């Protein structure tokens, strides 16, 4: 159920409010272009700057618009266990298919603290939980042994979005966890390598603008068409790199603004792309064939 190209969808803003109409259009765009799942309120969705009311509403809109056509994996993590439980219970109540749980940030809990946090969230709901390991943002790594213990002790902790950048760590997770434990890449540039070690897909940033190509890469790999998957990997790579020339989601939202997909509005402390990096982003979009040359003027 949780595989393929799963988009970490942006939250479009207009006049500092969630642009619900555009958000619904973006969801339809993804379903039309082969996206296998939607993650609202992830890092790319600027969850850290959403009020609780907005956070809950974005998840509600996603569930309403998707209408069970693809899984909705609601980002409901927090560095406060009580808040994570509250957000996750709401997501389950309104019909989300699963929850994405980022490791608590800023607190820097021990491995025991991480275990107890995730277990408390998992025990509070019946929906599947996918852990989200991104030490570069949270300051703490979820060790493979901790993930394995959670998988063994909590029947609804069924997978992990791995953004450690370490194929060694991901291989250890696969070796330690049950065979059906879902490994998802948390880095677009590592989607193909992660598939090769038994991963099931990616929770993607670049899929916000090129969903069909990300879905195609995974589909070709699953069909055994490795060379075709490699071709898509290398086609995507420069665009993926451009999505991270500044902190996500600054580049991808800027790109979507340039492509007329949504307003490029960000909330502080996210700030507009620098002029120098804007030119680099425009070049990457042009080279990919997404932006016409005359728009560069």
Q: What is the Cα gyration radius of the chain?
A: 18
Model confidence pLDDT, tens digit, residues 223-259: 999 999 999 999 999 999 999 999 999 999 999 999 9
Model confidence pLDDT, tens digit, residues 132-145: 999 999 999 999 99
Residues 110, 115: Cα–Cα separation, whole Å: 9
pLDDT of residue 294: 46
Helices 250-258 & 275-288, crossing angle to 10 degrees?
60
Given a contact cutoff of 8 angstroms between Cβ atoms, the answer to whether 277 and 251 are in contact is yes
Instruction: Give the tokens for residue 29.
Output: 């765009």
Matching residue, tokens 């996206």 = 35
Please state which CATH class domain 4-223 belongs to.
alpha beta
Matching residue, tokens 């056509």 = 69
State mean pLDDT over 204-228: 98
**Domain locations along the chain:** 4-223
46: left (phi over 0), alpha (psi -120 to 50) or beta: left
Active-site residue numbers? 132, 161
Average predicted confidence (pLDDT) for the chain = 97
Check pLDDT > 80 for residue 293: no
Is 130 in a helix, a strand, or coil?
Answer: strand
State mean pLDDT over 64-87: 98
Return the bridge partners of 161, or none. 132, 184
Check pLDDT > 80 for residue 20: yes
Scored b (16 or more CB within 10 A) or e, 20-39 reads eebbbebbebbbebbbbbbb
Check pLDDT > 60 for residue 296: no
Given a contact cutoff of 8 angstroms between Cβ atoms, the answer to whether 208 and 182 are in contact is no
Given a contact cutoff of 8 angstroms between Cβ atoms, the answer to whether 249 and 10 are in contact is yes
pLDDT of residue 292: 82
Model confidence pLDDT, tens digit, residues 111-134: 999 999 999 999 999 999 999 999
> What is the β-pairing status of strands 13-14 and 17-18?
antiparallel
Is 29 in a helix, a strand, or coil?
Answer: helix
Residues 225, 13: Cα–Cα separation, whole Å: 39
């Amino acid at each position: 159920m949780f595989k393929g190209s799963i988009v970490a969808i942006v939250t479009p803003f207009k006049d500092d409010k969630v642009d619900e109409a555009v958000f619904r259009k973006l969801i339809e765009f993804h379903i039309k272009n082969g996206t296998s799942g939607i993650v609202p309120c992830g890092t790319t969705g600027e969850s850290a700057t959403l009020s609780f009311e907005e956070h809950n509403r974005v998840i509600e809109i996603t569930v309403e618009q998707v209408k069970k056509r693809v899984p909705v994996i609601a980002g409901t993590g927090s560095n406060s266990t009580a808040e994570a439980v509250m957000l996750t219970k709401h997501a389950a109540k309104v019909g989300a298919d699963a929850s994405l749980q980022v490791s608590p940030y800023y607190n820097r809990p021990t491995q025991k603290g991480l275990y107890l946090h995730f277990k408390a969230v998992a025990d509070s709901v019946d929906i599947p939980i996918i852990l989200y390991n991104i030490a570069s943002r949270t300051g703490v790594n979820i060790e493979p042994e901790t993930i394995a213990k959670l998988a063994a002790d909590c029947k609804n902790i069924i997978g992990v979005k791995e953004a450690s950048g370490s194929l060694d760590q991901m291989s250890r997770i696969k070796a330690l966890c049950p065979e059906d434990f879902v490994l998802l890449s948390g880095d677009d540039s590592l989607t193909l390598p992660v598939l090769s070690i038994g991963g099931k897909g990616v929770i993607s940033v670049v899929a916000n603008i090129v969903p069909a190509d990300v879905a195609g890469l995974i589909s070709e790999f699953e069909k055994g068409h490795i060379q075709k998957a490699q071709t898509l990997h290398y086609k995507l790579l420069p665009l993926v790199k451009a999505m991270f020339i500044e902190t996500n989601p600054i580049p991808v939202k800027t790109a979507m603004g340039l492509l007329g997909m949504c307003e490029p509005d960000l909330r502080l402390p996210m700030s507009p792309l620098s002029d120098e990096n804007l030119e680099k982003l425009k070049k990457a979009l042009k080279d990919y064939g997404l932006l016409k040359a005359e728009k560069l003027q």
